[in-house]
Amino acid sequence: MNLNYVVSQIVGFFAFILSLFAYHQKKKKKIFQTMTLANVLDIIHYILLAAYSGCITKVIALIRNEIIIIKEKNKKLNNNIVLIAMFIIYLVSGILTYKNIYSILPILAAMIYLYFVWNGNELRVKKVAFYCYFLWLIYNICVFSIAGITSNVVSIVSTFIAVYNEKRVNKKQGDKKWINILS
């Protein structure tokens, strides 16, 4: 094990700790703020691993999250042109960082997440994140990111619990739309 790898794992574990807290936030803005710091640490983590597909996905995620926060205040940004532009950026990034079939997974996860988060509510954001973590898990296994693997497994469980708790609270309040937790 070289020093780069060890440092990458330490940074990755710090990113993981922050991401644990993100999806337990009640507001979309708070989710994105917490994830911003986690993404910065993940960028460093993936650079040190030379896992550039994961790195560029996290860079774009920083921009995407800011656009989503701004678009909620500025209705001019709340249109499909911005959404399509973000998809094009992801596609071009996927082409430029393509290494093997697994290098597509972070880009795919980010595009799925973007589609649902663009107009989704907080519960929808959490649900989609739950499924996207599985794509990231496969990628992290392929790039030998112990921090990423640990993060994904725990985040899958943590996000499931957050969604379940929100479903349970809403069900107690008589809201029937929460009947199927992850469907």
Q: Which two tokens stand for residue 60?
A: 């774009």
How high is the pLDDT of residue 182? 54
Write down the pLDDT at residue 176. 54
Cα(110)–Cα(104) distance, integer angstroms = 10
**Any domain includes 72:** yes
Q: Average pLDDT of 87-109?
A: 96
Q: Which two tokens stand for residue 152?
A: 């994904």
User: How many domains does one find in the chain?
Assistant: 1
Separation of alpha carbons 22 and 65, rounded Å: 13
pTM, rounded to two decimals: 0.81
CA 94 distance to own-chain centroid: 16
pLDDT of residue 40: 95
Helix, strand or coil, per DSSP, at residue 2: coil
Instruction: Give the per-residue pLDDT at 150.
Output: 95
Q: Is the pLDDT of residue 174 over 50?
A: yes
Averaged over 1-20, what is the pLDDT?
90
> Domain for residue 111, yes or no?
yes
Encode pLDDT of 106-157 as tens digits.
Answer: 999 999 999 888 877 777 887 888 899 999 999 999 999 999 999 889 988 8
Say what the pLDDT of residue 179 is. 47
* Model pLDDT, residue 178: 46
Within-domain flag for 163: no
Give a yes or no: residue 83 inside a domain: yes
Residue 122 lies in a domain: yes
Which domain covers residue 120, as residue numbers?
3-158
Question: Residue 23's pLDDT is what?
Answer: 67
Assess if residue 124 is contained within a domain.
yes
176 falls within a domain = no
143 lies in some domain: yes
- The answer to whether 151 and 15 have CB atoms below 8 angstroms apart is yes
- What gap in Å lies between CA 45 and CA 4, rounded to an integer? 9
Residue 73 or 122, more confident: 73
The 10s digit of each residue's pLDDT in 31-72 is 878 888 998 999 999 999 999 999 999 999 899 878 877 887
